[in-house]
Structure 1
Amino acid sequence: MHSLLNLLFEFAFFYPIVMSFFWISGGLYYYWRRERHARPRTDPPPLDDAPFVSILIPCHNEGDNVHETMAAAMAQRYPDFEVIAINDGSRDDTADKLNALARQYPRLRVIHLDRNLGKANAMRMGALAARSEYLVCIDGDALLDEYATHWMVWHLCSGQRVGAVTGNPRIRNRSTLLGRLQVGEFSSIIGMIKRAQRVYGRLFTVSGVICAFRRTALHRIGYWSDNMVTEDIDISWRLQLDHWDIRYEPNALCFILMPETLKGLWRQRLRWAQGGVEVLLRHSRDLLSWRKRRMWAVMAEYLLSVAWAYTMALIMLLYVVGLIVPLPTELRVNSLLPTWHGMILAMVCLLQFAASIIIDRRYETGVGRNYYWMIWYPMAYWLLSFATTMTAVPKALLKRRNTRATWVSPDRGIR
Structure 2
Amino acid sequence: AAGNFRPSLLLEDSDLTLGLARAGYRTRFVTDAIAFTSVPETLSGYWRQHVRWSRGFQQVAGLQGGAVWRDARLPLGLRLELLAFALGYADRLALMAAAALTALDIMWPGSANFPLWLWLISFGVPFIQIVAALRLAPRKSPARMYPYLAIVPFFFALDLAMAAWSMAQTALRRPAKWTATERPLVREA
Bigger relative CO (Cα 8 Å, ≥ 6 apart): 2
Correspondent of 1:330 among 104, 110, 113: 110
Using structure 2 for the length normalisation, give the TM-score.
Answer: 0.72
Supply the distance in 1 between the matched residues of 2:126 and 2:84 (Cα, whole angstroms): 22
CA deviation after TM superposition for structure 1 residue 353, in Å: 2.4
Shift of 1:366: 5.2
2:73 alignment partner AA: R
Is 1:297 equivalent to 2:68 in the alignment? no
* Offset at residue 393 of structure 1 (A): 2.0
Alpha-carbon distance in 1 for matches of 2:12, 2:130? 29
Change (3 A) 1:392 1:372: same
1:268 equivalent to 2:49? Answer: yes
1:258 and 2:35 are equivalent in the alignment: no
Distance 1:357 1:306, change over 3 A: closer
Q: Map Cα deviations across residues 214-270 of structure 1 (whole Å, 9 max, x no partner).
A: xxxxxx324122111221221112111222111211212223221121111111111
1:315 matched to which residue of 2? 101
Q: Cα–Cα, structure 1 residues 404 and 250, in superposed 2: closer, same or farther, change >3 Å?
A: same
User: What residue identity is the alignment partner of 2:131?
Assistant: A
Q: Distance in 1 between matches of 2:82 and 2:5?
A: 20
Between Structure 1 and Structure 2, whose CA radius of gyration is higher?
1
Output the amino acid matched with 2:132: A
Q: 1:271 deviation in Å? A: 0.7
Question: Contact (CA 8 Å) 1:257, 1:412: kept in 2 or not?
Answer: yes
- Return 5+ residue gaps in structure 1 as ranges: 1-219, 323-327
Q: How many residues align?
A: 176
CA RMSD of the aligned region, Å? Answer: 3.5
Q: Do the aligned partners of residues 240 and 413 (structure 1) sit closer, same or farther apart at CA in structure 2, a change above 3 Å counting?
A: same
User: Who is 2:2 aligned against?
Assistant: 221
Distance 1:242 1:271, change over 3 A: same
8 Å Cα contact 1:225/1:231 also seen in 2 = yes
Query: Who is 2:156 aligned against?
Result: 382
Distance 2:42 2:176 in 1: 27
- Check 1:371–1:255 CA distance in 2 against 1; reply closer, same or farther (3 A cut): farther
Equivalent residue in structure 2 for 1:370, among 122, 140, 145: 145
Instruction: Output one character per residue of 1:141-195: Cα deviation in whole Å (capped at 9) or x when no partner.
Output: xxxxxxxxxxxxxxxxxxxxxxxxxxxxxxxxxxxxxxxxxxxxxxxxxxxxxxx
Query: Which residue of the partner structure matches residue 354 of structure 1?
Result: 131
Gap change, CA 1:312 and 1:244, over 3 Å in 2 = same
Amino acid paired to 2:36: F
CA drift at 1:272: 0.7
Which one has the bigger strand percentage? 1
Unaligned runs of 5+ in 2: none
Shift of 1:350: 4.2
State the percentage of identical aligned residues: 19
TM-score by length of 1: 0.36
Question: Where is the helix percentage greater, Structure 1 or Structure 2?
Answer: 2
